[in-house]
Each structure stands twice: as structure tokens, then as C-alpha cells.
Structure 1
């Protein structure tokens, strides 16, 4: 049986990767730093292993006898005081994992990067040949995702890179789920003026496993989905939940002003605000992603947004996250 090492296994995408790898017949050794994560991983059929991206020794021990690494862990904070810790995870942690993989003789490294490596500075529809501008970004998340991806590209271990757009689907408790719960409680203060491509987390996980099985080494894949404005997205959620929603987007200048005030107060309170200048900048962006390469080579599926929202809400109702 093939043994795979997985990071981020107790998270959103990582949880789906764990299930897909188990379905493919793999033994999954999953990085875990706490008891709560151990239970989540074990329930899904994985073997939790105490290791940390900042601890090279623990990574070498965890990767012994593994044939492949799937790296889905990341720090997605949009708050500047977290920049040092974020860099330690997204850049230095990825470099530590790559060195451990090379030391262990791992034969494949499947890396979850992000469209953020291209940065909000990139314009037009993103394709794989679009120049990545993450190194120029003032947003630390974009810069660290770019630098982490570049470390993978330089590595000697055979690699495959995925750049997902906005990830949606069952299993989300912290990403778009936070906005969905605000809609359900009719507490959403406004709608960002941007737009995005909404990708099905289940299809991203399937495409990653498929790429590894097909030895698609040295390739990067953008994986997006149906494009929609955030106004349309929120109004669809409101209709599905039977809740009132704002009828129009909040102007970008008003959102940025609110974000700057919230950020300034957070330096006094020490608490991360719901909206930062970084996150406000990204949700004012019109993000379009071309997934044709992944569709052509990996049979990646762009789930219709209606279906994706319905499936997400069904899971959230089951978990008691909405509809209380």
C-alpha cells in the first residue's frame, strides 16, 4: 500500500484530500499538532502524526517511507501583526517540508498554492502563463503564497502545483462559511463590490489525486469555477436561506475606510478585526480564472454555482451551522 504524507488534513481542502487518498487505496500519514485534529484525522481514516512545518526534525521522522507528499496547510491570515508567523508557515515551513521530502526520497510533491500567488495586481482572466506578481504585493498572504510556490518550483523532488480560486463546498467552517452564517442571521453589514470564480472543494481534491496518479510532474494548474459577482452570490444565498440581503454592493471606498478604521483599532485592542485593508482589497477585485488546462488534462469539473451553494448549505444545515 502506498503511504502518503498530508498536511492540513484537519482543514477544509485537506479533509477532502484525505478522503480522496483513502478512496484511492493509500495509507495517509497526516500532520497533526493537537488532540482535536487527531480525532478528525482518525475518523476520516488517516494516521495522525505529531509534526510541525517549523520543526525540520519532526518532518523527517514523519516522512520516512512515504512515497508522496500532499501539502495543503497554509496560514491564510489577512492581519498584518500575523505576518511573521504567516511567513514562517507559508514560506519557511514549505521549504522545511521540501527538504524533508528530498531527504526521505519522496517521489512526488503535490502543492496547494493559490491564485493569490498571481496577486490582485494581475489583471484580466488568469491563465497559467499569466505572470505571477505576488512578490510585488503589499499583502503578506499573496507574497508568502508566491514565495512558497517558487520554493516548490526550485525543488529537486518531482512536483505538481495547484492554484485554486475561491473554494466553496461541504466541510467549510471558517472561510465562506462565515459569510453564509452572517447571511443566515441577517447580520451581513454589506456586500463587497468584487467578483470571483467559485471552485468546488471536492473537485479540487479529485483533480489533485488524479494529477499525481498520472505523473503530471512539472505542471501547474489553475482551478476555478463559475464566475459571479459577490452581490449575485449573496443574493442567491439569501434566496436559498429565506433571508433578507442588501440589494447592492458597498462602495469600495467605504469598505476600505471601514477596514482602515477597524485595523487601527485592532492595534489597540490586540484582536484581529473581521475586515482588514488586506481582505478588503481582495474582495474589491474582479477575479476571473480559466480552468481549461485542468479540465482538459485532469477532467476537472466546474460545478455550477447553484449546485455548489445547495450542497454547501445542505451540509451546513446538517451540522447546525445555519437554519437554527
Structure 2
């Protein structure tokens, strides 16, 4: 029996669909709406803070995929980030320990590694520090990892994955999938920033492989390629047959934009499109070392970024009923 949290999100839904075709019993946690139905899936409505429900769900469960978490780079969400990512993970770890599950796989983020280290290759050996992270989100994911390590110290078999920016055909009005909508609408600006990108299907496949392995008490960066934002934008624009961004954003321009967005957010109460944290991230050149997973799983390989982008663009067009 498998239990999946965050089963309605971009990664969680991909993982759930992938497992549903091969596993006879899956419990999947959802908050508001069931995204799809499958005979192998038992959908359970609830959240990470109902500790009694979590204890009940965990009974008879062998494997737990903890995908749930809040992603935000808005400073106003600090309290909710810490509650969902740190406290919520602590509740999952405690329930897994009490139920004696065989193994837990925790989805963290490269943000928990303290990713703003220019001219340095980021590896799994690095730790979050206030000096090397630009986000409250990164700190919240670091604290979530600490709860998992605490659980391992108490006897829980667990493994942690740290994906870079996950690309997939999700709701293109939110999250990383919003990148595709932005380029589809011919957003004219790009930055010189570099970071890691990975296909959502590759993340799900790596998670399943790690869960089925004997690997425990380790964490793995999941990142296919270190690529410039401009190069990624060009690939998306080409797949959509749209005009690629041609205007370079300078640090000065970025500073003006995030300040204007902060003022707009203060007046309207709406979430800012760009924050100080996301502006800094977009300008940084950060490189991730993905060799640890490839050495541990020699048969695993990442999908080339261009191939991923082409597939995702085609799926997004179909989802949104758009014909080129």
C-alpha cells in the first residue's frame, strides 16, 4: 500500500498516475477536488495538519511519497510556508514512525541547499545558510528536511530528493508551468540567469526508482540540465511558434520591477508577479551537480531539455484547447 501527499499538484499528480498503472493500492491525499479517478486510487480528503487522519491513513501503508508543500516567494507567506513545509512534514514523519512504514520519500528542493552560490557547483553535501539562500521558501524546505533527518535518527527509513525547477504540463496560471504561458504571450524580456531544469516525468521516475531501491539516509539532486533562462525561453518560443524574448533585464531594471510589484501588491492585496527573491534568482548563475543519482542509478537517464519542452508545449496547447 502506497500513500501520496500532494497528489493533486504538478509532481504529485504525475507520480500518482505513473504508479496507478502498476500498483494495486494507493491512498492519495487531496484538499478540495479530486483531479482524476482510477480504480487503484483511494482519494482521501484532508490536510497535513489533521494528525489523527494521518495516523489512520498510515495504517497498513508500506511506502509514503511526501510531495505536498507550499511554494511561494512572497515574504507575506512566511508563516504559511513554515507551517505547511516544516510542521506539515513533521506530522508526516511522526505518523510514518508510529505506523512503522517501510520507507518514506520526501520531496525537498534545491532551494534547501542554499542555491545562491555563484561560481560554485551545488552538490548534495551543501547545506542551507542564511548567507546562501535568497528565500524564505528555501529556509522552510531546509527545516522540513531537518524533520526527515530527525525521523531517520529515530529509525525511519527515508530518502530525500532535491529537484531543480520542475517543468511539466500543469496549470499554466501558477507555479513553474506559468513560464510557458508567459512565453506563449510573447513576454519580451529575458535574464542572463542560469539554473537547473528537470522534466516532471523524470522526477517521478527517479522517485519510484529510489523508493524501490535499498537506498536510505541519502539525498539526491534531480536536475537534467543547467540552462540559461534565455535558452529555455527560446526553446519554448520555438515550440509555440512565438516570438522569443529579445530584451535583456539588467539588475537595475529588476530592482525597479520588484519594487513596483511590491507597491502594487500592497495596494491591491494581490500576489506580486515578481518579488525581490525571484528577481535575484532570475539574475543568478547557479549550476547543479546531478552525478550522484546517475552513479547510484546507472540505468536512469534524463530527458533532453528540448524534447521535454516540445512535449510539454504540445500538452499545454491540448489542455487549453489552443491550435497553432
Q: Does TM, normalized by the shorter one, top 0.5? A: yes
Q: Deviations over 1:91-116 (max 9, x none)?
A: 00000111111111112110000000
Query: Which piece of structure 1 moves more, 174-183 or 40-49?
Result: 40-49
| SS in structure 1 at match of 2:191 | coil
Q: Distance in 2 between matches of 1:160 and 1:65?
A: 20
* Residue aligning to 2:27: 29
Q: Map 1:122-271 onto structure 2 (within 5 A).
A: 122-123=117-118, 124-133=120-129, 137=133, 139-155=135-151, 156=154, 157-171=156-170, 173=172, 174-186=174-186, 188-271=187-270
Q: Distance in 2 between matches of 1:244 and 1:219?
A: 43
Structure 1 pair 209–65 and aligned structure 2 pair: CA distance change class (3 A) = same
**Could you tell me how far 1:212 is from its partner in structure 2?**
1.1
**Could you tell me how far 1:192 is from its partner in structure 2?**
2.8
Q: Is there any run of 5+ residues in structure 1 with no aligned partner, and where?
A: none
**Could you tell me how far 1:248 is from its partner in structure 2?**
4.1
Q: Map 1:50-129 onto structure 2 (within 5 A).
A: 50-123=45-118, 124-129=120-125
Normalised by the length of structure 2, the TM-score is 0.92
Q: Is there any run of 5+ residues in structure 2 with no aligned partner, and where?
A: none
Q: Distance in 2 between matches of 1:323 and 1:62?
A: 43
Q: Which runs of 4+ in 1 moved over 4 A?
A: 321-324
* Residue aligning to 2:288: 289
Query: Which piece of structure 1 moves more, 176-185 or 43-52?
Result: 43-52
Does the Cα contact within 8 Å between 1:79 and 1:276 map onto a contact in 2? yes
Q: Distance in 2 between matches of 1:222 and 1:253?
A: 32
Structure 1 pair 135–48 and aligned structure 2 pair: CA distance change class (3 A) = farther
Does the Cα contact within 8 Å between 1:256 and 1:280 map onto a contact in 2? yes
- For these two proteins, the number of residue pairs brought into alignment is 318
**Could you tell me how far 1:84 is from its partner in structure 2?**
0.8
Normalised by the length of structure 1, the TM-score is 0.92
Q: Deviations over 1:119-152 (max 9, x none)?
A: 2333412112233336864521010011101110
Q: Distance in 1 between matches of 2:225 and 2:51?
A: 40
RMSD of the TM alignment (CA)?
A: 1.9
